[in-house]
């Protein structure tokens, strides 16, 4: 995978160096935990943002191992304090969204652009999984995001929380999911995940320091 092209496309001229991790079935949780903990070290990041982000981020990581046909992927993250912005990228060099969704008879006739646009809708899946990861991520963008980009094959979807458009782009063999979000806005994390799970409690149980939990009470 050409990590340099990812850095040049999505992290150029950043004020700090991003954290880059390669993950697979053996270390996915460790990579997830490392990145969430690295962000959680910044006290100025709103707790509710971290609670929602942690759920969506793991879902996007898991999508690579479940749907891409590959056994590994790359995760890149960066927090920019002066911009109050978190950037997340997850990429693979697998089969791509169109080919993946075509494994489900409901979506076998979708064009590449149609498949990418469909991928952020609820319950859209190739038959493996619930089809909730990109949908919940799009809800995160709607609540606190700047933009979501999904690049697969020759098309890129861009969603700014209000409007979605899909454009022709340079080829990427596989799928790139990139999003940036505001880090300083309070949200309801469980509303982001459509109240289908308690991501607030899940995050607190896994990542919140004991002192922080005591303050919540």
pLDDT digit string (tens) for 7-28?
A: 999 999 888 899 999 999 999 9
In this predicted model, what pLDDT tens digit does every residue of 93-151 receive, in sequence order?
Answer: 999 999 999 999 999 999 999 999 999 999 999 998 888 999 999 999 999 999 999 99
Burial of residue 30, with CB atoms counted within 10 A of its CB: 0-12 exposed, 13-18 middle, 19 or more buried? exposed
In this predicted model, what pLDDT tens digit does every residue of 22-62 receive, in sequence order?
Answer: 999 999 999 999 999 999 999 999 999 999 999 999 999 99
Q: Tell me the backbone φ, ψ of residue 93, rounded to 5 degrees.
A: -115, 45
pTM metric for this prediction: 0.94
Residue 211 is predicted with a pLDDT of 58
Residue 217 has pLDDT above 80, yes or no: no
Residue 76 has pLDDT above 80, yes or no: yes
In this predicted model, what pLDDT tens digit does every residue of 179-210 receive, in sequence order?
Answer: 999 999 999 999 999 999 999 999 999 998 65
* Angstrom distance (rounded) from CA 47 to CA 19: 20
Strands 72-80 and 19-24 come out as antiparallel
CATH topology of domain 19-216: Heat Shock Protein 90 (3.30.565)
Q: Taking the alpha carbons of 92, 142, 87, 47 in that order, is the dihedral positive or negative?
A: negative
Burial of residue 119, with CB atoms counted within 10 A of its CB: 0-12 exposed, 13-18 middle, 19 or more buried? buried
Residue 162 has pLDDT above 50, yes or no: yes
70-to-89, 123, 211 alpha-carbon distances in Å: 17, 22, 40
Residue 89 is predicted with a pLDDT of 98
Residue 213 is predicted with a pLDDT of 46
Helix axes 47-67, 133-144, angle to 10 degrees: 150
């Amino acid at each position: 995978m050409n990590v340099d092209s990812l850095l040049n496309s999505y992290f150029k001229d950043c004020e700090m160096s991003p954290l880059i991790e390669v993950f697979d079935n053996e270390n996915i949780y460790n990579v997830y935990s490392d990145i969430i903990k690295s962000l959680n070290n910044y006290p100025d990041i709103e707790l509710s943002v971290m609670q929602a982000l942690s759920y969506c981020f793991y879902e996007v990581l898991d999508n690579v191992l479940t749907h891409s046909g590959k056994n590994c992927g790359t995760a890149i993250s960066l927090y920019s304090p002066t911009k109050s912005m978190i950037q997340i990228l997850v990429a693979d060099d697998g089969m791509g969204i169109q080919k993946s969704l075509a494994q489900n008879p409901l979506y076998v006739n979708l064009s590449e652009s149609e498949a990418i646009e469909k991928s952020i809708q609820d319950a859209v899946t190739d038959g493996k999984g619930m089809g909730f990861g990109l949908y919940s991520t799009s809800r995160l963008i709607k609540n606190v995001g700047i933009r979501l980009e999904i690049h697969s094959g020759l098309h890129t979807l861009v969603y700014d929380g209000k409007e979605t458009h899909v454009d022709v782009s340079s080829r990427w063999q596989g799928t790139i999911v990139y999003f940036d979000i505001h880090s300083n806005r309070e949200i309801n994390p469980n509303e982001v995940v459509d109240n289908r799970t308690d991501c607030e409690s899940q995050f607190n149980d896994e990542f919140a320091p004991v002192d922080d939990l005591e303050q919540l009470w």
